[in-house]
Amino acid sequence: MPRRPRDPGVPSSPIEYFGAELRTYREAADLTRPQLGDKLGYSPQWVGQVEAGQSGPSEDFAKDCDTYFKTNGTFHRLWKWNQRLVRLAALPPGFPDFVEREAQADVMHIFETMVVTGLFQTPEYAYEVLRSGKAPEAVEQLVATRMERQAILEGETPPHIVAIFDEGAIRRPVGNTDVMAGQVRHLINLAELPHITLQIVPTSKGAYAGVAGAFTVLSFPDDLDVVHIGGHVGAQIIDHPEAARGYAVRFDLIRGAALSADDSVSMLHAILESL
């Protein structure tokens, strides 16, 4: 079936919506583009490009519009909305869905084998993990999205998280010594939070239930559990109840192989001292 042409008068993106709102306010104030540009300190060409959705507004421009039109932060909120969508668009296929579900979960069971989980990464560590094969601008966007995700850890009702790491994930050298020291120190601080339990499966354990790979089980107040499995080029969400229960059982087996929370923190201190 052929696609219906988009109505040219209907904004299809936050940038176009910003431009449409700007044009509406400008015309309501009976201003021309040169007049508005003069009052805000921008060229009429720039105002025209923003109104047409051809150029994304800067944060300063959004704030200037709010100040002039007395819109109580409307333009700045539109700017932040656009920034968030730009960051989500840079994520691998399937990952934006996971990010949205992660923000809604009230309980998480995380198991990692290779690196520290993204929700617990420092910006420096995240940059080193994400930079391979990507342009610096793309890496910066991905890091910003990862840091934005971590806001859920500091909310009024943060999720309860049980995170289990294979010892190799903690000891794997990512970046230089300063990056590693900062990351391990960050894990120690996170482990002190009442809603986070951190445990480590020591290398001496040998083969155990987690050798098949990493996964995360997300639980919700009013919905079924889902499982997230990361990949090289995308992410997979498993929402079949029986499969989710299977991963929950697997997590329990992995936890049985892990050190206690106190012993795990002691190992983190030992790793930090060795760096």
Q: Structural domains in the chain? A: 14-87 (1.10.260.40), 92-274 (3.30.870)
Share of the chain above pLDDT 70, in %: 89
Is residue 189 scored above 80 in pLDDT? Answer: yes
Nearest of 270, 275, 269 to residue 178 by alpha carbon: 275
- In this prediction, what percent of the chain has a pLDDT beyond 90? 61
What is the pLDDT of the chain when averaged over all its residues? 88
Least confident of 2-16, 92-106, 145-159, 249-263: 2-16
Mean pLDDT of 164-187: 97
5 pLDDT above the threshold of 80: no
- Whether the per-residue pLDDT at 165 is higher than 90: the answer is yes
CA dist list (Å): 196 to 81, 104, 149, 250: 29, 17, 16, 20
pLDDT at 220 over 90: yes
DSSP-derived 3-state class of residue 218: strand
pLDDT single digits (tens) 233-256: 667 888 899 999 999 999 999 999
For residue 43, CA distances in Å to 54, 102, 197 come to 15, 42, 54
Q: How many CA atoms lie less than 13 Å away from 130 in the CB half-sphere?
A: 25
